[in-house]
Amino acid sequence: MKLKCVYMRGGTSKAVFFHKKDLPEDVAIWPKLFMKVMGTPDSKQIDGMGGAAQITSKIAVVAPSEQPDCDVDYTFFQVGIEEPIVADNLNCGNISCAVGPFAVDEGLVTAEEPVTVVRVYNTNTRKVIEEHIPVKSGKALTKGVASIMGVPGTGAGMDIFFEKPGGAATGKLFPTGNVLDILEPEGYPSVEATLIDCSNPVMILASKNLGLKGSEIEPFLSDKELLTHIESIRSAAAVKFGFVEQAKDATEQSLAAPKVAVISRPHDYKGSDGNMILKEDMDICSRIISVGAFHKTHPITSGIAIAAAASIPGTVAWNLIGENWDHKTLKIGHPYGILPIKIVMDGDTVAKAGTIRTARRIMDGYIYIEEE
């Protein structure tokens, strides 16, 4: 079997993009198909397009929108690496920012210079993303001077905004009704956490509760005991979110949600590329755990959740930094640098939030799937 596809970088992630019309009509076979596309399950993903990392084991499916105020519908799939799972209950902010350029280049929207506004409906979260795509000669512009941490060189900067991102998975910004919850993970001490659903469901922990400074980088963050500890806390949170009935089922049934944000006050540290990342350039330091492993950079959606929490008194984030930022743009320190998240609050409601990203088409053609 061969399927037409496009391989794209969006922000600090990469995904295989499909037109929905080019996929089998039976969506029940998509998960098995997507695992073959990525080469899952295999720690190297050697027989597929996956790059043996969460940030490169992703699928996007795009179609003309069925929503009256949007241009395209987009569904995101996170494919496991060693685990034979395909999660469709969350979104990826970095891949979201490649949807607009894909829509322009594929003729799904009318290209207008110098900027084409593409309204994207994310079917996973039932939320709208507005993308401002630089355009030249009818195609999405890739060359430019915008630089984002975690991507070498520069590209054409685009503004991306998530509209009313609260309650993306559960319908509530704080699913438990609390800005601070006490979790009781099996085999470990109880811990304070903020459980927030904003663009994606995220459990926010203070790094000190894990015995961490908060600025650690690989390989220390691959410590199996640490990840087991975090997963035990995350499993307790999954129950509070309502994703599973029992914590023991969370790893198997809801590994992708919630994500985990381990945050701390700003620190100086040497980034994954060897460059120094300075505390004066950030408002907060964050490390993300997604699908059982530490994220090599930082998801936009998790950044939005942290920025929302940092805007609301009583949360773990507020209790760390409170008024010590401008409440307009939260600068988040991650393993490769700084992720700025612009946020607009309407009281305790997030009106919109976003950032600047770059994206580009890497290749297009056909992917070949060995049929059983």
How confident is the model over 96-122, as pLDDT tens digits?
999 999 999 999 999 999 999 999 999
Q: Provide the residue type at 181 as one letter.
A: D
How confident is the model over 131-140, as pLDDT tens digits?
999 999 999 9
User: What's the residue count for the chain?
Assistant: 372
Q: The tokens 């596809």 sit on which residue?
A: 5
Work out the end-to-end distance of the chain between its first and last CA atoms, rounded to an integer number of angstroms.
10
- pLDDT given at position 121: 98
Task: Supply the Cα-derived Rg of the chain in whole angstroms.
Answer: 19
How confident is the model over 182-215, as pLDDT tens digits?
999 999 999 999 999 999 999 999 999 999 999 9
Residues of the chain whose pLDDT is less than 70?
219
How confident is the model over 16-30, as pLDDT tens digits?
999 999 999 999 999
- pLDDT given at position 149: 87
- pLDDT given at position 146: 95
Number of Cβ within a 10 Å radius of residue 260? 23
The three-state DSSP-derived secondary structure of the chain is CEEEEEEEEECCEEEEEEEHHHCCCCHHHHHHHHHHHHCCCCCCCCCCCCCCCHHHCEEEEEEECCCCCCCEEEEEEEECCCCCCEECCCCCHHHHHHHHHHHHHCCCCCCCCCEEEEEEEECCCCEEEEEEEEEECCEECCCCCECCCCCCCCECCEEEEEECCECCCCCCCCCCCCCCEEECCCCCCCEEEEEEEECEEEEEEEHHHHCCCCCCCCCHHHCHHHHHHHHHHHHHHHHHHCCCCCHHHHHHHCCCCCEEEEEECCCCEECCCCCEECHHHCCEEEEEEECCEECCCCCHHHHHHHHHHHCCCCCHHHHHHCCCCCCCEEEEEECCEEEEEEEEEECCEEEEEEEEECEEEEEEEEEECCCC
- pLDDT given at position 150: 87
- pLDDT given at position 318: 98
- pLDDT given at position 371: 78
- pLDDT given at position 370: 86
d(Cα 157, Cα 309) in Å, to the nearest integer? 26
Q: What is the pTM of this model?
A: 0.90
The region, left, alpha or beta by phi > 0 then psi within -120 to 50, assigned to residue 251 is alpha
